[in-house]
Amino acid sequence: MKIIGGIPLKGTVKTQGAKNAALTVMPVCLLLRGGILTLDNVPDLYDINTMIEILRDLGVEVEINRELKDPQMIFKVPDEIKWEVSETLARKMRGSSLLLGPLLASCGQISLPLPGGCSIGARPIDLHLKGLKQMGAEIDVQNGVVHAKVKGRLRGRRIYLDFPSVGATENLMMAASLAQGETILENIAREPEIDNLADVLRSIGVPVELEGTGGVRIQGVDKVHSGRERVIPDRIEACTYILAGVMTNGHIKVEDVVPRHIDAILAKLEESGAKFKVKKNTVETFPSKKRLHPISIKTLPYPGFPTDAQPQMAAALSLGQGVSTIEESVFQARFLYAQELNRMGADIKIARDVAVIRGVQKLQGAPVRATDLRAGAALIMAGLAAEGETTVDDMVHVWRGYEAIDKKLTSLGAQVELI
Ligand code: UD1
């Protein structure tokens, strides 16, 4: 993507459906046999298309209605589906690990090549496997492929997660839906995507009770029925645009936002002195003559500051005043973008898990490379705020998570072009 920077963004942009929520709730259809799952507000992204390919390969019929205001997908599931996931497709994204729970619960066995995804540190699935074993699955990992099977049905039980992993929580919730008896998961992730999953499971007839203290209670059922639910708005995409508005000194309104989903980010933006207004479903940014004040951030599981907004926040703080710090506590290798931002004149030093960001007056355009999805977003934002021309290479990462980012930015007055 070629970007001519220095233009304050102006206008209104609508948030897409959440990538991570959609990737989680699409595999729910595997729990249905001879039923239909309808999902509204599904974004058009590489990872979503990979999930569609995987589901189709397993035998699910997927109908896509993109012309609707809330793009819709209908998953028609036959009585019999395949339980072997294609290696080429599984390795394309981390999200393929979300097939484990529903496919195992539905078919009694699964063969899943270990998933790929962003290079942001080791991403084991030991917690997913440990939980499924506790529910009675026999699991064997050989030559990079997970083979799991269960005699009869999975068995509901009390499971404590050693870390509130988002993926493990989601997999176990889906597995528990068709298990025998009640499952109580403790120390679970409480990201908004988990609430969305709970709503989808309820829509197909699974009693799910989320508890405020980080637990969930699920009554396993013999059979689920057809259902329908809307995918929540993408909080990370929304924040990327909000931060782009702040960074370019722009006046933009981001629509279809759930403000309480991005409380941590808004709190940190407020602390840094950014000018913005929050309404029921929108966030509006305003130009400011002052640079952002230095702040300290630590990424944490929800409701803490999300790791997925960390690179974008670093880009914004690189144009701030004084020295800000960001500590990454969720993933190990999430600072690869720093050397790319530094090519544009940023001053970021990495000391183990902490990025020390010394604010600079201006950034200059440069050729840079997206090292992963959110790094790519951060570099695009930096390019929008920088003087001169920036080219962001390896855009393939960005297309995994940002629908029509070129068109959305153009509609906000940015000068961007796909090469
Ligand atoms: C999901 C999101 C990702 C986001 C992350 C944290 C999707 C498709 N991806 O990823 O965008 O950055 O939540 O909000 O929804 N871990 C283990 N063992 C496990 C599972 C996780 O050690 O079995 C570790 C991971 O290596 C990582 C941490 O736990 O350090 C968080 O991972 P997790 O919450 O599972 O993230 P994902 O579900 O992979």
pLDDT digits (tens, 9 = 90+) for 334-346: 899 999 999 999 9
Q: What is the pLDDT of residue 68?
A: 87
DSSP 98: G
Residue 181 backbone class (left: φ over 0; alpha: ψ -120 to 50; beta: rest) = left
pLDDT digits (tens, 9 = 90+) for 121-180: 556 899 999 999 999 999 999 888 999 999 999 999 999 999 999 999 999 999 999 999
Enumerate residues 6+ apart whose C-beta is below 8 A from 340.
Answer: 368, 369, 371, 375, 379
Query: Rounded to the nearest whole angstrom, what is the distance from the C-alpha of residue 376 to the centroid of ligand 1?
Result: 19
**Stretch 245-259: mean pLDDT:** 98
Q: Is 212 exposed, middle or buried (0-12, 13-18, 19+ CB in 10 A)?
A: exposed
Q: Which two tokens stand for residue 58?
A: 């397993």
* Cis amide bond preceding 303, omega within 30: yes
Q: What is the pLDDT of residue 310?
A: 97
CA distance 387 to 281: 33
Ligand 1 binding pocket includes 373 (Cβ within 6 Å)? no
Mutate to test the pocket of ligand 1, among 26, 163, 312 (most ligand atoms within 8 A of CB): 163
Whether the predicted pLDDT of 120 surpasses 50: no
* Rg of the Cα atoms in the chain: 21
Q: What is the pLDDT of residue 124?
A: 84
For 214, phi then psi, to 5°, come to 95, 30
Mutate to test the pocket of ligand 1, among 197, 236, 305, 330 (most ligand atoms within 8 A of CB): 330
Ligand 1 binding pocket includes 212 (Cβ within 6 Å)? no
Q: Any catalytic annotation for residue 118?
A: yes
SS3 label, residue 326: strand
Q: Which two tokens stand for residue 320?
A: 């701030």
Ligand 1 binding pocket includes 307 (Cβ within 6 Å)? yes
**Which atom of ligand 1 is found nearest the CA of 167?**
38
> For the chain, what's the residue count?
419
Q: What pTM did the predictor assign? A: 0.96
CA distance 419 to 416: 10
CA distance 354 to 332: 10
Query: Rounded to the nearest whole angstrom, what is the distance from the C-alpha of residue 409 to the centroid of ligand 1?
Result: 29
Q: Which two tokens stand for residue 374?
A: 């959110």
